[in-house]
């Protein structure tokens, strides 16, 4: 019966991966732009929380709020000032710019914090757990994180489908050229999309900081997990991304159960399997 | 009838072209004769530069002409390296022959890999190739015979089998690098001047138009992907022969074999043969100047990449060409 | 009375190619202007320059007395100029209703809102939840026009709304024009259907190879004059 435990852990892990994926998929959906530094921004959020909690002594919840606001602002400005200038049909300039950003971020973090593994302590939460009969114990923190992830995705879904802003974001992803004819400014819309994605990244990064050990170099592998979750779940579908994250998480925990060294490989293989069988993803929404 | 200023431009362009050819000949002769004038450390540096040049030409062919932006070419550098070590260490194949054989083996792997990777488009294809490279890395780390996760060194006896003396070995290795770099440039140039090249240029200029003219886009992209995989693996096999040691992390490093190569190509000038040459020179100059700055060197490199994209995304050679600089390697057909 | 829209000596280039050679055009408040001309005459280029969809710095385009050349398209939209673009360009991820609502992003007040648009084009009401691009060509054109009306424009610019539509549908759509005019919106329509253009317009401009070849009221213009202005010389 320990397999049930494995699967539950996988599902909880999947919530985190779904958050990684949601930010990536948002930016790609609206701007057709893959941010190679996506994983590195998640790590930046983790380090920011570390500073908030360890250096400034803020309680973690307050720290998370500050990080979210900070990164949303940086995301908005960064898009407006830098990324908007390299966006167009060609995907290569954004690839090179975000590659450059990735290298800058990783090395700056190395300079500032050294390569040591870190973790943000979450007090009593860290060890508390709910037990169901003898076999199954679910940590309170991982459960809270999973619920938070589902909540964030629900909020995103709400924004996209029930608000005027979401309408504008969806329209921009369809046909950015005539958005100005609707009286909206593309620069601003793109920057709002990035700010939103940055907020999601901030939540994801702060959760990462409390859940596992992190160091400046784990960014790229987070990007790959995010990407895999998007592809498995299906493009253009926010809830599908949650499903994708969960499937990836479960694949990883099953792999880890077979052999600790197989965890990441198992995830990659699950991704490849979906890619071979259903390249659009398991829950893709066909676009008109 | 040509106006006076047009004739002057024409003459200036001719002079520029002659100057370029002159520089190229000097460079070629210098490289070909390097073992005569360069010290051991300089030779190693040149071999490294020539390897990066070959990798850059391959990536340029893939991205600049078929539009396949790959962030996963390290898959083939690593495969080339590992197949080479496997062939050299565990079969009777002589060391020098193991290099091209490793490249061919990698080419075989590239075939089903391409089929899988092509199920993704654009930016998703780019990251997908990276995931595939990671899969190869993780699989390579599973083989204890090849050192598992910590890697393995090439047995001294194998190295000694290349030539009788130490300088002999270095001579052979240098000319291998020289040959690989030269082959990469020439094969790209010849390809672009051929009928295939016409198809490639058509695809680069407009895929729908090319398709409507009967170009089998998927087949062309497939062929180019597999061929660049072979070229990349050939270079990878040599690189790890030179390093004498292979580890999964080094073999499949996305920073070394993708980020740096992409910087070289795009900063030098994508879609031109001259661009990667300029890019390699610039890259190694910078590395020479700044390498002991460690992380700051890398931060500077990242900032440079961003700056170049903001200033002129055509890269250095692209900017020159736009100002009327002539081509060194003529691949365009002009209508008269 | 200031003209609602006036261009003086408007030129436009695509790289080395010159598309417009000094267009003088004006629209008075309350008028319906038709622009006719064969393909490539520069009609769409003209509309794009006026709405800010293509660069127009240094040109002379005034809207209600204000110089708008060089302004961004979204700013021009906020001033009360709305365009129904060529090819409709509905948003495929949005429903009919959402496509209409997004037209109101400009937040100008006026007679037009969702209910009024549905009254104008009743066929859209029962399809309000359908995907924008799931409708027939004529219905999509109605959505495109409705979307532009939602911003309560003072001037509505329509680029080839009859393109690809059956004559019956074209008449149905143009039947809405009087009501649009009644509610205070002036119109500029680019039309391939010359008869329709003459029927609906107060004044007509004919473009030919980037120049205004003829202008006047429909009643003043003979068929021969129009044919000559449209096609150029008799034997071309």
Q: In 3D, which of B123, B231, B110 has the Cα closest to residue A96? A: B123
Q: A237 in contact with C at a CB cutoff of 8 Å?
A: no
Q: Is residue C181 part of a domain?
A: yes
Cα dist from B137 to A220, B232, C84, whole Å: 15, 16, 54
pLDDT digits (tens, 9 = 90+) for C104-127: 876 788 899 999 999 999 999 999
CATH at residue C211? 3.40.50.300
| pLDDT at residue number B39 | 87
Q: In 3D, which of B327, B319, B274, B305 has the Cα closest to residue B60? A: B274
Size of interface A-C (CB pairs under 8 A): 67
C52 and A180: CB-CB below 8 Å? yes
C91 and A180: CB-CB below 8 Å? no
Q: A107: distance to nearest CA of chain C, Å?
A: 40
> Average pLDDT of C87-93?
91
| pLDDT at residue number B332 | 60
- Confidence band for B54, pLDDT divided at 50, 70 and 90: very high
Task: Name residues of chain A where pLDDT drops below 70.
Answer: 1, 124-127, 132-135, 286-288
pLDDT digits (tens, 9 = 90+) for B193-212: 888 788 887 887 777 887 88
Mean pLDDT, chain C, as a whole number? 90
Q: Which of A167, A177, A181 sits opposite C51 (nearest CB)?
A: A181
How many domains does the structure of chain C reveal? 1
Q: How far apart are CA B232 and CA B229, in angstroms?
A: 5
B296 and A111: CB-CB below 8 Å? yes
**Domain of C137, in residue numbers:** 5-231
pLDDT digits (tens, 9 = 90+) for C173-185: 999 999 999 999 9
Q: Is residue C208 part of a domain?
A: yes
Q: Which residues contact B158 (CB under 8 A, 6 or more apart)?
A: B88, B89, B95
Cα dist from B214 to A220, A241, B114, B203, C10, whole Å: 40, 39, 22, 11, 42
B160: enclosing H helix or E strand:
helix B156-160
Suggest the residue from C50, C54, C74, C143 to mutate for an interface test with chain A (most A CBs closer than 10 A): C74
- Report ipTM (2 d.p.): 0.92
pLDDT > 80? residue B328: no
For chain B, the chains sharing at least 3 beta-carbon pairs closer than 8 angstroms are A
Q: Is residue C55 part of a domain?
A: yes
Q: A183 in contact with C at a CB cutoff of 8 Å?
A: yes
> Average pLDDT of B252-273?
91
Q: B56 in contact with A at a CB cutoff of 8 Å?
A: no
> Average pLDDT of B216-222?
87
| Number of C-beta neighbours around residue C176 at 10 A | 16
pLDDT > 80? residue B302: yes
3-state secondary structure of C13: strand
pLDDT digits (tens, 9 = 90+) for A59-112: 888 999 999 999 999 999 999 998 888 887 778 888 889 999 999 999 999 999
Q: C114 in contact with A at a CB cutoff of 8 Å?
A: no
- Residues of chain A contacting residue B308, judged by C-beta atoms under 8 Å apart: 96
| pLDDT at residue number A128 | 72
Q: How far apart are CA A250 and CA B234, in angstroms?
A: 38
Residue C10, phi-psi category: left (phi > 0), alpha (psi -120 to 50), beta (remainder): beta
Q: Which residues contact B28 (CB under 8 A, 6 or more apart)?
A: none
Tokens of B277: 């040459």
Q: Which of C51, C93, C105 sits opposite A287 (nearest CB)?
A: C93
3-state secondary structure of C89: coil
Q: Is residue C236 part of a domain?
A: no
pLDDT > 60? residue C234: no
| pLDDT at residue number C236 | 44
- Confidence band for B334, pLDDT divided at 50, 70 and 90: low
Mean pLDDT, chain B, as a whole number? 88
pLDDT digits (tens, 9 = 90+) for B87-142: 999 998 999 999 999 999 999 999 999 999 999 988 899 999 999 999 999 999 99
Q: Cα angle at B119 between B116 and B122, to 5 degrees?
A: 120
User: Residue with structure tokens 């496509």?
Assistant: C99
Q: A258 in contact with B at a CB cutoff of 8 Å?
A: no
CA dihedral sign of residues B27, B31, B36, B41: positive
3-state secondary structure of B284: helix
- Are A44 and A71 in contact, with CB atoms under 8 Å apart? yes
Q: A212 in contact with C at a CB cutoff of 8 Å?
A: no
C91 and A164: CB-CB below 8 Å? no
Q: In 3D, which of C209, B63, C225, B285 has the Cα closest to residue C217? A: C225
pLDDT digits (tens, 9 = 90+) for B307-327: 988 888 888 888 887 777 777
């Amino acid at each position: 019966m320990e397999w049930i435990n494995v699967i539950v852990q996988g599902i909880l892990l999947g919530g985190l991966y779904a958050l990684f994926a949601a930010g990536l998929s948002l930016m790609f959906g609206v701007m057709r732009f893959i941010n190679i530094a996506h994983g590195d921004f998640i790590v930046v959020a983790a380090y920011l929380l570390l500073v908030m909690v360890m250096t400034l002594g803020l309680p973690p919840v307050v720290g998370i709020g500050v990080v979210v606001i900070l990164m949303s602002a940086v995301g908005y400005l960064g898009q407006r000032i830098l990324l908007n200038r390299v966006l167009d049909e060609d995907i290569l300039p954004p690839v090179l710019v975000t590659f450059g950003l990735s290298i800058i971020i990783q090395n700056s973090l190395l300079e500032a914090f050294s390569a040591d593994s870190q973790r943000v302590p979450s007090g009593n939460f860290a060890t508390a757990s709910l037990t169901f009969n003898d076999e199954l114990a679910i940590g309170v923190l991982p459960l809270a994180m999973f619920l938070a992830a589902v909540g964030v995705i629900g909020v995103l879904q709400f924004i996209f489908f029930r608000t005027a802003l979401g309408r504008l974001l969806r329209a921009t992803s369809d046909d950015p050229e005539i958005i100005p004819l609707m009286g909206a400014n593309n620069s601003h819309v793109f920057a709002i999309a990035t700010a939103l994605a940055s907020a999601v990244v901030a939540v994801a990064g702060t959760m990462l900081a409390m859940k596992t050990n992190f160091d400046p170099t784990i960014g790229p592998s987070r990007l790959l997990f995010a990407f895999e979750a998007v592809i498995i779940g299906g493009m253009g579908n926010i809830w599908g991304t949650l499903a994708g994250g969960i499937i990836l998480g479960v694949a990883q925990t099953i792999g880890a159960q077979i052999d600790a060294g197989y965890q990441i490989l198992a995830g990659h293989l699950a991704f490849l399997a979906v890619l071979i069988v259903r390249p659009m993803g398991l829950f893709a929404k066909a676009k008109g | 009838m040509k106006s006076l200023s047009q004739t002057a431009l024409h003459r200036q362009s001719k002079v520029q072209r002659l100057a370029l050819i002159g520089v190229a000949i000097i460079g070629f002769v210098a490289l070909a004769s390097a073992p005569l004038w360069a010290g051991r450390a300089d030779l190693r540096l040149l071999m490294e530069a020539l390897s990066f040049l070959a990798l850059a030409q391959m990536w340029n062919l893939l991205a600049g002409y078929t539009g396949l932006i790959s962030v996963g070419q390290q898959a083939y550098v690593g495969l080339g390296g590992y197949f080479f070590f496997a062939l050299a260490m565990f079969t009777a194949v002589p060391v020098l022959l193991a290099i091209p054989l490793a490249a061919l083996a990698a080419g075989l792997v590239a075939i089903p890999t391409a089929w899988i990777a092509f199920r993704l488009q654009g930016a998703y294809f780019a990251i997908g190739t990276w995931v595939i490279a990671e899969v190869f890395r993780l699989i390579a780390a599973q083989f204890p015979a090849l050192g598992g996760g910590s890697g393995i060194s090439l047995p001294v006896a194998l190295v000694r089998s290349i030539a009788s003396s130490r300088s002999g070995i270095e001579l052979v290795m240098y000319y291998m690098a020289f040959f690989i770099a030269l082959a990469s440039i020439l094969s790209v140039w010849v390809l672009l001047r051929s009928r295939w090249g016409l198809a490639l240029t058509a695809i680069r200029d407009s895929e729908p138009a090319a398709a409507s003219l009967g170009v089998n886009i998927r087949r062309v992209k497939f062929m180019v992907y597999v061929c660049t995989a072979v070229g990349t693996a050939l270079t990878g096999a040599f690189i790890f022969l030179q390093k004498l040691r292979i580890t999964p992390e080094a073999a499949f490093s996305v920073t070394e074999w993708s980020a740096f190569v992409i910087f070289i190509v795009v900063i030098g000038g994508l879609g031109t043969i001259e661009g990667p040459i300029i890019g390699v020179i610039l890259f190694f100059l910078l590395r020479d100047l700044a390498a002991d700055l460690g992380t700051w060197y890398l931060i500077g490199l990242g900032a440079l990449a961003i700056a170049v994209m903001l200033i002129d995304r055509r890269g250095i050679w692209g900017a020159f060409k736009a100002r009327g600089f002539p081509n060194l390697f003529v691949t365009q057909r002009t209508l008269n | 009375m200031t003209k609602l829209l006036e261009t003086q000596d408007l030129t436009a280039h695509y790289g080395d190619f010159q598309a417009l050679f000094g267009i003088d055009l004006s629209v008075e408040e309350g008028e319906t202007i038709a622009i006719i001309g064969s393909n490539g005459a520069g009609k769409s280029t003209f509309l794009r320059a006026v709405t800010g969809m293509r660069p127009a710095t240094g040109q002379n385009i005034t809207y209600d007395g204000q110089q708008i050349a060089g302004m961004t398209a979204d700013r021009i939209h906020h001033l009360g100029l709305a365009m129904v673009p060529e090819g409709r360009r509905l948003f495929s991820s949005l429903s009919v209703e959402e496509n209409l609502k997004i037209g109101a992003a400009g937040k100008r007040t006026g007679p037009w809102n969702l209910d009024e648009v549905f009254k104008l084009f009743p066929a859209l009401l029962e399809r309000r939840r359908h995907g924008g691009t799931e409708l027939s060509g004529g219905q999509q054109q109605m959505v495109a026009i409705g979307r532009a009306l939602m911003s309560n424009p003072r001037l509505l610019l329509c680029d080839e709304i009859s393109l690809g539509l059956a004559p019956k549908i074209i008449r149905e759509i143009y039947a809405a024009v009087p009501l649009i005019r009644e509610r205070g919106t002036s119109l500029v329509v680019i039309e391939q259907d010359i008869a329709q253009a003459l029927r609906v317009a107060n004044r007509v401009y004919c473009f030919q190879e980037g120049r205004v070849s003829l202008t006047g009221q429909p009643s003043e213009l003979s068929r021969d004059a129009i044919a000559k202005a449209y096609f150029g010389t008799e034997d071309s």
